[in-house]
Structure 1
Amino acid sequence: MSDLENALNGKSVAILVANGFEESHMTSLHKALVLTGAEVKIVSPEKGVVNSWHGNGWGHFFPANAHLATSMSHHFDAVIIPGGTRHVNRLISDPQTARFMRGFMEDNKPVALIEEAPKVLAEAELLGERSVISTEAINEVLQEKGAKVVEADIHVDDMLVTGKFADDTLVEKFAGCIQNYEPEAWEAA
């Protein structure tokens, strides 16, 4: 990770979470992204604070920096969604999630998804034939929506990074996508 210190200065990254997100994922991702120099904002459908899931019960509350209903993809350079079945289902049930994520996917901006988070894109019909990693519990849903499920710990499909773990390797791959993203090239294509 020391290679990435200040590598993302001037970049804005959204961490999209709803009540029930996996606390260890969000805190480790947040810390790692801050070390890269990125401006990290917690975006949530919850107003004010969002409650994590830790172990076998509810965890800590975290301040939400931005409300999902008023957030736009063009406010951020990239987005990451931690794992956690409860929060993934909550995000899927909110139509604002599909709107927010559609902007990232249509502009081919960097997106990182951990564990069951690819289900958010699948249910919003935003995965298409992309290849992703996920949990066994939702592989069938992803395949029904046209995604190709691959077996690995981390996988990169253009600007889409999926992983089984919220670790330094995932952050390094995600940061690489953010560094390599060229909006002008994408818009010209």
Structure 2
Amino acid sequence: MKIKYFIMIFFCLLFIFACTERKIYLPEAQPEKEGQIPKKEEKVEDEKYSQKEEFSATQMSELIRKIQDEIKDIHFDFDKYEIRQEDIPTLKKVASLLQKYKNLKVIIEGHCDERGTNEYNFALGQKRANSAKQYLITLGVLPSKIEIISYGEEKPLCTEHNESCWQKNRRAHFVFIEEGK
């Protein structure tokens, strides 16, 4: 009788652990290092664009263009949507910018390579964009400042049929816009 209960509990636990979703890497409390979000008392990188100051349309357009050029895509491994260690500095920079500029918002686009069905790649692109969003939220960004969209395999950067090209297409791309637009 005890063996039956033990076996039932074992299989229940096995089922629970086998059915859990993949976890997104969450940042651990670490000492400040180069490339992390600056402390509030540190000097602001670009004093011309103070968070309290209202922007003219030209200034906002210039700021968005500058940020768009500075922030690069983050990339994912094949068939994965977990944030990679080498992409954490980019996400921290995005979080810093969204916290610094109150009128700034980001759209995170999830992209995939051409392998897999359209439906599968659309869902994977959504998971990739959502992973980036959740990471930004853990860094203190308000969810209302982040939108996500999946393009699946529909907007490739590279159209060759090889691994180096596919790696470029497995990405999350950040599009910055003025909030309220």
User: Which category describes the TM-score, using the shorter chain as reference length?
Assistant: under 0.3
TM-score by length of 2: 0.26
Q: Bigger relative contact order, structure 1 or 2, given CA contacts below 8 A and separation 6+?
A: 2
Q: Which has the larger radius of gyration?
A: 2
Q: Is the strand fraction higher in 1 or 2?
A: 1
